[in-house]
Structures are given as C-alpha cells and as structure tokens.
Amino acid sequence: MHFDTLAIHAGQKPDSATGALATPIYQTSTYAQDAPNVHKGFDYSRANNPTRKALEDNLAALEGVPYGVAFSSGLAAISAIMNLFKSGDHVVAANDMYGGTYRQFRQLYEKYGIAFDFVDASNADAIQAAMRQNTRLVWIETPSNPLLKITDIKAAADVAHANRALLAVDSTLATPYLQRPAELGADLVHHSTTKYLNGHGDVIGGAVLVKDKDLFEQLRFWQKSVGSVPSPMDCYLVLRGVKTLSLRMDRHNQNAQAVAEFLQAHPSVKRVIYPGLESHPHHALAQKQMSGFSGMIAVELNASFEQSMVFASGLKLFTLAEDLGGVRSLVCHPASMTHASVPREERLKNGFSDELIRLSVGIEDGRDLIADLKTGLDRL
C-alpha cells in the first residue's frame, strides 16, 4: 500500500466490539483474564495497551519495518536506545543535535561509563575516523537540529556495520513521509512524535522503529520495565495526526521553501540554512535522500545579538516557543532555549552562533508568514 493509505489504515481496523472506525481510547490500567495468564494479549497497560499497539503498528508500517515501540517522550525513546548498551561501550554521535539529546548523552550516560565522540556526521570519513573497537552505536540526526545538516544515511550505515556497530537515525525533522532511514540501512529509527507526526502541539511522545526482532524485544522489555509509556489519549492523538501527515508536510515544505527564498534575498539577513536552497552545502544529498525538505529553517541576521533577540520576540505569527513541527509557526533562539545545555564553546566550534534563530514554519498562508517576517526585518 502507498503512504497515505497506510497512514489511515495500518494498525487501525474497525473496533471488533462496536465497529467504531476511530481507534478507541482504551483508558484502562488492567484487563480481565479468563484464567491465570490466559488473556486476549493484554494484561496490564504498562506492558501493552490496544491504543498504543495501534500506534506502534501504524508507525512501523510507515517506516517500512515490522516493529515499533512507543514511549512517553522523544527523550524516553532515546534513553531506551541507550540502554541497549553498557559501561565500556563507545558511541560516535553527530556534533549537531537536539540539546536534550546532548544533555542526556553527556550528563547521564557518560557517568554510567559509556564514552562519546562527537563528530561532523555529514562527513562519513569523520565517522570512520572516530570508530573504535568498542564502538557499538553511531547516532545521527538528519536533518540535524538546529543547523539542518544532511547526513548520508547509507554511507553512515556502511561505516557502522563495517565496524560491527548499529546505526540510529533521529528522523524527527523529516518524518517517514520525507525520508525512510531503514531502507537506507538504519537499524533504529527514532522520532519525537511530539513534533510533525502529531503536528498539533498537544502531545509529548516518542517512538523507535526497528527491523530486528531481538532489538525490538530489548526495547519492549525496557519500555515495560521502566514504564516510560505514552497514555492511551496521547497515542490516539498521534494516530489522528498521522492521518493528515502527508497533507501537512506538503504545506510545510511549500511554505518553508517560500520563506527561505524570501529571507535569502533580504538585505538584513546574513545567512539562511535550508536544505531546499541550492546554497545549502548538502542540497544535492537532500534531493537524493529525501522527497521534500521539511519545515525547519535556521537564519542569522545582519544585526547585533540584541537586535536579533528583539526580532525573535517581536514577530506576530511566529510565536516564540520551544517546539517544532506543528501547524502553528514558531520562532526559537536555540542558544538560550532548546540548546542551552550545549556549552557555548562547543556550539561555536560547530558553527552554531549565539545569533542563530530557528524557524518552524507552519501551515498558515505563506504570504502572511512572509509579511510577518518582513515587518520584523524592516524594524531592524
């Protein structure tokens, strides 16, 4: 089946009890059993829940893999992946990633004895150079957050597998609609379902999609044992959001392309980073690896730090907030918001300036979004 059909039908049969077409919200903690450990596949909702199972099956189908595991947040999903490993293991990770992921790696898992090297993952040679005998995982984001670097997933997978390591891809900014990492060799595909998959700013959640049954069973064991599960209501809302994913992503792509081209032509703008622009250093790879460029833009202004902050705070349609991927446009100052946990010297070394502003372009009328940005730029 094609993507749009899977989004609506995968994992979502009419309810057997009533015929309801919308997946019911099974708001229950436990289930009646016919005899001890004889049940209909559900005994306790921390272990399994019908609404959550529908979401897991749906997301796995969209990624083209057999197994999905849903979590209470994107970071809970990352924690489950990291608990596949042990003290003494080594991870090669992208040096441009979501600040919460960096914080988890450096402040939690390093103290448990897992070592990390952070490299420019858009360069496969840099990944290879960082590999060690004890490397067990290569972790990449593509597009990355916030600099929107594009990593060659197949090349990264080849390096990881040649060194007997796994490749995990955070594909949150691309979604399964624009990018299919598992088809390019990824072993684990991570999503913050909070973002584009839900798309309406009313859920916190995460998911890991895998091809390998053993990895799946390890992740399910962690999910059950730790209890980092999403609520049935949150699963229902993500399922509802996924049904319109392709429609929304098409609009995000269209609006972001128009906004990026406008910003690139404006004299008050120093730099625009968007994979859909020919000026992006990885534009050709993005064209090859993705079917669209998503809705995220990074921008630096020809302005002082203080003026940049006034610009970010003064927009009307772009709301200043920490999130992305929703129908409503947002503006963020990563250095003081989403990436405040990344040390300044690390950010600057990786080309991430204090002045960088991140735009999450929503699905409003693109003409209104451009007018809002123009007004803000004209104030400068």
pLDDT band (50, 70, 90) for residue 146: very high
Please give the DSSP secondary-structure letter assigned to residue 15: P
- Domain 3-242 matches domain 245-379 at the CATH topology level: no
Q: Distance between CA atoms of 66 and 63, rounded to whole angstroms?
A: 9
Question: How many whole angstroms separate alpha carbon 287 and alpha carbon 270?
Answer: 24
CATH of 3-242, one of 3.40.640.10, 1.10.10.10, 2.60.120.380, 3.40.605.10: 3.40.640.10
Query: Of 62, 26, 20, nearest to 41 (Cα)?
Result: 26
Domain ranges of the chain: 3-242, 245-379
The arithmetic mean of pLDDT across residues 72-89, rounded, is 98
Q: Which residues are catalytic?
A: 46, 98, 170, 195
- Between CA 50 and CA 211 the distance in angstroms is 21
Residue 242 burial by CB count (10 A; 0-12/13-18/19+): exposed, middle or buried? buried
pLDDT of residue 342: 84
pLDDT at 335: 83
Q: What pLDDT sits at residue 63?
A: 98
Mean pLDDT value across the chain: 96
Q: For domain 245-379, is the CATH number 3.90.1150.10?
A: yes
* Mean pLDDT within 60-89: 98
Contact yes or no for 360/299 (Cβ under 8 A): no
Give 81-99 pLDDT, tens digit per residue: 999 999 999 999 999 999 9
- pTM equals 0.96
* 258-314 residue pLDDT tens: 999 999 999 999 999 999 999 999 999 999 999 999 999 999 999 888 888 899 999
- The two beta strands, 357-360 and 296-301, are antiparallel
Q: What is the pLDDT of residue 380?
A: 82
Q: Is 35 exposed, middle or buried (CB count within 10 Å of its CB: 0-12, 13-18, 19+)?
A: exposed
Confidence check: pLDDT of 74 > 90:
yes
